[in-house]
Structure 1
Amino acid sequence: MPVAVRQRLPAWLFALVFTTFAFATDDYVIAGVLPAISADLGVSEAAGGQLVTVFSLAFALAAPVASVVTATWPRRGLLTGALAVFVVANWAGAFTTSYALLMGLRMLAAVAAAAVVPAAYAIATTLAPEGRQGRYLALVMGGLTGSLTLGVPIGTWVGAAFGWQATFGLGGALGLVALVAIRRTLPETPPAPAMPIRDRLAPLAGPRVLLGLLGIVAIVLGSMMVLTYLSPFLHDLAGAGPAELGWVFVLAGLAGFAGGQFGGRAADRWGSYRALITGVVGFAAVMAVFSACWFLRPVPLPALLPLLLVWAAVSWWIPPPAQTRLLALAGPAGPQALALNSSAVYVGASVGGAVGGLVLGGHGSGWLPGVAAGVELAALALFWLAGRVR
C-alpha cells in the first residue's frame, strides 16, 4: 500500500476539528456583536459582556462534571446529543428578546460544549494510530485557532450585515453541520468501563495530575498575559493602532495554527516533555527579544511582524505536548484529566487577564513579556516536578 494512502487522515478527524471550530466561534464571536446585543436588549455593554463570562464560567464548571457523568455513555451518541442541544440553544437565542433568557441559553450552550470538547480530545487520542497522538490532538485543537482567524471575523460580519440574531443563527448552523459530520463519520468508540465514580476520580487526586494541571494553568496564564494586552503593548512599543492590530491578529492566528501542528508532530517524534521544553524555551526567548526591543522604542511594526509571528507559533506549539504530557501523567483517567484540563485553561485565561492587568497598571506594558516568560518557565518546572513524583 502506498505511504500516502496509509497516512491519509480520516474523515472523523476533520469532523472533530470542525466541531471544536463551531464551539470556539460561538464563544468568541459574541465580542464582535456585543454593542448590537446590548442596544437591542436594553442593557449596558458591561452587562452584555457577561454573556461571554457566563459561557466561560459554565464551561469551566461543567466540563469535569460532564466527563464523569457521561464516562460510560457511547461517544458518538454523546457528541450528537450535545450538539443538538447546542443548535437549539443558539437558534432559540436568535429569537429571544429577553436578556435573562439569553443568559440562560448561553449557559445551556456552554454545558453542551463542556460535554463535547474534552470528549473530542479524548476520542482523537484514543483513535489515533500509534505515534500520532500529538498531531491528531493538535489538529482538533486547531479548530480553536481557526475560529479566531476565520469563524469570528465571518460571524462578526454576518452580525453587522444582518443583525446579531443572524450571528446566533450562524452558530446553530455550524453546530448542525458538525452534528451531521460526526453522525456520518465517527466510528462508535467504546465508553469507559463501568466503575464507581470514586474509583474513576482517584487517579486525578494524585500529585502528578495536580502538578500537571497547575502547569496547564501557568502555561495559559503566561500566554494570555501577552495576548490580552497585546494592543497597549504594541501601541507603546510601535505606535500601532486598531487598523494595524487587525492584520496582526489575522496573521498571528495563521502562525498559531501552524505552530500547533508542529507542536503536535514534535510531541510524537521527540516525546511530549522534550517538545514542551522546546516550546517554552522558544516562548521565553521571544519574550526576551520583546523586552530588548522595549529599550529601542519606537520600533516600526513591520520590523516586529516576524517576531510576532514566531510568538504566535510558539504560543500554540505548547498546548499539544502539554496535553499529551497530562494524558501520560493521568494514565487510565486520561479522559477525566482532559476535562479538568479544559477547566484549567479557562482558569489560566481568567487569571492571566487579571495578573496582566496588575502588571500593566503597576509597571507598564513593557514588563509584560518578562513576567510572562517567568510564568511559562514556572509551568515547565511544574511539569518536571510532576514527572519526578512516583
Structure 2
Amino acid sequence: MPAWLFALMFTTFTFATDDYVIAGVLPAIAADLGVSEAAAGQLVTVFSLAFALGAPVASVVAARLPRRRLIGGALLVFVAANWAAAFTESYPLLMALRVLAALAAAAVVPAAYAIATALAPEGRTGRYLALVMGGLTGSLALGVPIGTWVGGAFGWQATFGLGGALGVVALAAVYGTVPELPAAPAVPMGERLRPLARPPVLLGLLGIVAIVMGSMMVLTYLAPYLRDLAGVGAAELGWIFVLAGVAGFAGGHLGGRAADRWGADRALLAGVGGFTAVMAAFTVCWFVRPVPLPALLPLLAIWAAVSWWIPPPAQTRLLAMAGSAGPQALALNSSAVYVGVSFGGALGGVLLESWGSAVLPAVAALVEVAALLLMWAAVRSAGRGYGVAASVPGGRVGG
C-alpha cells in the first residue's frame, strides 16, 4: 500500500480520536465544568452536527482548491482549536471550539476519501476506502485509550492538547507523502446537489443516518452503560476501547473486501443484520446483570466489527449511484454519518437522563431495524433504475 494512503488514514485517525475521546473522559469533563454527564455528551453531538452541516458545504465551496492545500489549511485550524480547548474552563467556550474543530474535519475527510477513490487501482476502491476509514477504528484501538489515560493522569485538558499534537503529525505526513491532485472541474450547483434527489441515494443516506445513530447511542454512553451492567471502571474502559478498535479495524477491512467481492448491497445488508443481532444480545444481558466483563468481551468485539464493516460498502454504493458527482456523494455520506452521530448522542442523552442506561441497546436495536428497512428500500429502488450507475469496480450495486 502506498505511503500517502497511510497518511490519509492517520489524518482520519486524528479527527476520530478527537471526536470519540470525549466518551473516555466524559465523567471528568462533567465534574470539572459542573455539568451533567448527558450535557458533557453533547460535546460529541455538537462536533458531529457541525461536521454533518459543514461537509457538503465544504465540498462545494472548496471544490476548486487543490486537495493537499485544502487538507493542510484545515489541519492548522484543527490544531489551533484543540490547543485552545486545552486551556479553557468554560463549557460554552469548549462547545464553540468543538464546532471549529469539526468544521476543519468536515473540509478534510471528504477530500481524503476523494483522493483515495481517484488513486485506487481498478477493483480495489472498497479496500482503499476501508483503509482510509481504518483511521476511525484505529482511534478506538489507540487514540481513545491513550487520550483516556492521558486525561486520567493529567486532566481532560491534556487530552485536547494531545489532539492538537496529532494534528501536527498528520499535517507533516500529508505534505510529505500525498501527491497534489488538480482541483475538481467546475460543476454547476444543481448537478452537485442532484445525487441527493435520487430515491436510492436518499434512502441510502437515511439508512446510514439510522445505522450510525444506533451505534453511537451506545458508544457515546458506553462508560455509564458498562458501569451499570458490569461494574466497569475507567481502567477497564481503556482496554475495552482497544479491543473495540482492533475488532473494528478487522471488520472495516472485511467490509471493504466484501464490497469488492460480493457487491455493496449484500455486504451492507449483512453488516446491518449483524449489528441488530448484537444489540438484541446486549438487551438480554441487562436482565441477568451483573454480567462478568470477560463474558461481555466477545459481544463487544462483534459489535465493533459489524459497526465498522458497514461504512466501506455504504460509500462504494453511493459512489456507484452518484456517477460523476462522486465527491459530492462522499461528502453527503460523511454528513449522514455525523448526523447519525449527533442524533445518537442527543437521543442517548435523553434516554440516559429519563430512563437510565438500560434502555440504550434496546432502542438502538429498534433503530437498526429501521435502518435495515431503509437499506432494503434503497436496494429495491436502485433495482428499478432511477438513472443511477449499475455497477462499481469489483461488485454489482442495486440488484
Q: TM-score if structure 2 supplies the norm length?
A: 0.82
Query: Which amino acid is 1:381 matched to?
Result: L
* 2:186 match: secondary structure: coil
Q: Deviations over 1:322-368 (max 9, x none)?
A: 22212222222222122222222222223334555666788876665
Match status 1:213 vs 2:200: no
CA distance in 2, matches of 1:25, 1:160: 16
CA distance in 2, matches of 1:136, 1:115: 20
Determine if contact 2:41/2:345 at 8 Å carries over to the other structure.
no
Which aligned pairs between 1:110-259 and structure 2 lie closer than 5 A?
110-162=102-154, 164-230=156-222, 234=226, 238=230, 240=232, 244-259=236-251
Which aligned pairs between 1:279-358 and structure 2 lie closer than 5 A?
279-291=271-283, 293=285, 299-356=291-348
Determine if contact 1:204/1:333 at 8 Å carries over to the other structure.
no
1:45–1:307: structure 2 CA closer, same or farther, 3 Å change rule? same
Aligned pair partner of 2:5 in 13, 21, 32: 13
Residue of structure 2 in register with 1:5 after alignment? none
1:210–1:304: structure 2 CA closer, same or farther, 3 Å change rule? same
1:299–1:273: structure 2 CA closer, same or farther, 3 Å change rule? same
Query: Which amino acid is 1:346 matched to?
Result: Y
Query: Which amino acid is 2:325 matched to?
Result: A
Aligned pair partner of 2:258 in 252, 266, 269: 266
Q: TM-score if structure 1 supplies the norm length?
A: 0.84
1:286–1:98: structure 2 CA closer, same or farther, 3 Å change rule? closer
Aligned pair partner of 1:89 in 53, 56, 81: 81
Determine if contact 1:212/1:329 at 8 Å carries over to the other structure.
no
1:191–1:261: structure 2 CA closer, same or farther, 3 Å change rule? same
Q: CA deviation at 1:71?
A: 1.4
Determine if contact 1:329/1:387 at 8 Å carries over to the other structure.
no
CA distance in 2, matches of 1:49, 1:366: 17
Q: Deviations over 1:84-130 (max 9, x none)?
A: 22223333444567766555443322211110011112221221111
Residue of structure 1 in register with 2:62 after alignment? 70
State the number of aligned residues. Answer: 380
Structure 1 runs not aligned, ≥5 long:
1-8
CA distance in 1, matches of 2:286, 2:29: 39
Determine if contact 2:49/2:342 at 8 Å carries over to the other structure.
no
Determine if contact 1:287/1:372 at 8 Å carries over to the other structure.
yes
Aligned pair partner of 1:44 in 23, 29, 34: 34
Structure 2 runs not aligned, ≥5 long:
387-399
What percentage of residue pairs aligned between the two structures are identical? Answer: 77
1:304–1:133: structure 2 CA closer, same or farther, 3 Å change rule? same
Residue of structure 2 in register with 1:375 after alignment? 367
CA distance in 2, matches of 1:33, 1:355: 20
